[in-house]
C-alpha cells in the first residue's frame, strides 16, 4: 500500500518513480507466497489425514453398532 501511495504523491508515472515502489510491492508479495504455500500444503496434508481418521472412526462405529445390535437380539431371544 505504501508503494502505491508514494507513486500517487509523486504525481508522476515515469520509470524512476514507479520502479522502486513496484519492486517493494513485488518483494512483499513474494514473502507472502513463501509463507502461504507451505501453509496450504500443511493444511491439505492435515485435512487429508483428518478425513482418513474420520472414515476409520465411522467404520468402527458401524461395526460396533452391528455387534451390539446382534448381542442385544441374542439376549432378547433367550
pLDDT tens profile 12-70? 777 777 788 788 889 999 999 999 999 999 999 999 999 999 999 999 999 999 999 99
Domain ranges in the chain? Answer: 2-77
Return the half-sphere exposure (C-beta side, CA atoms, 13 A cut-off) of residue 63. Answer: 6
**42 φ/ψ angles, rounded to the nearest 5 degrees:** -65, -40
- Predicted pLDDT of residue 78: 67
- Contact of 24 with 2, CB cutoff 8 Å: yes
Residues sharing a CB contact under 8 Å with residue 10, sequence separation 6 or more, in sequence order: 17
User: Per-residue pLDDT for 2 more than 90?
Assistant: no
User: Per-residue pLDDT for 6 more than 80?
Assistant: no
- Predicted pLDDT of residue 20: 82
Task: Quote the CA–CA distance of 26 and 38 in Å, as a whole number.
Answer: 19
Rounded alpha-carbon distances, angstroms, from residue 5 to 26, 65, 78: 15, 64, 84
Amino acid at each position: 500500500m505504501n508503494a502505491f501511495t508514494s507513486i500517487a504523491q509523486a504525481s508522476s508515472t515515469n520509470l524512476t518513480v514507479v520502479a522502486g515502489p513496484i519492486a517493494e510491492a513485488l518483494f512483499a508479495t513474494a514473502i507472502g507466497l513463501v509463507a502461504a504455500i507451505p501453509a496450504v500444503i500443511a493444511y491439505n496434508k492435515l485435512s487429508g489425514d483428518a478425513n482418513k481418521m474420520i472414515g476409520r472412526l465411522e467404520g468402527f462405529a458401524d461395526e460396533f453398532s452391528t455387534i451390539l445390535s446382534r448381542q442385544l437380539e441374542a439376549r432378547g431371544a433367550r
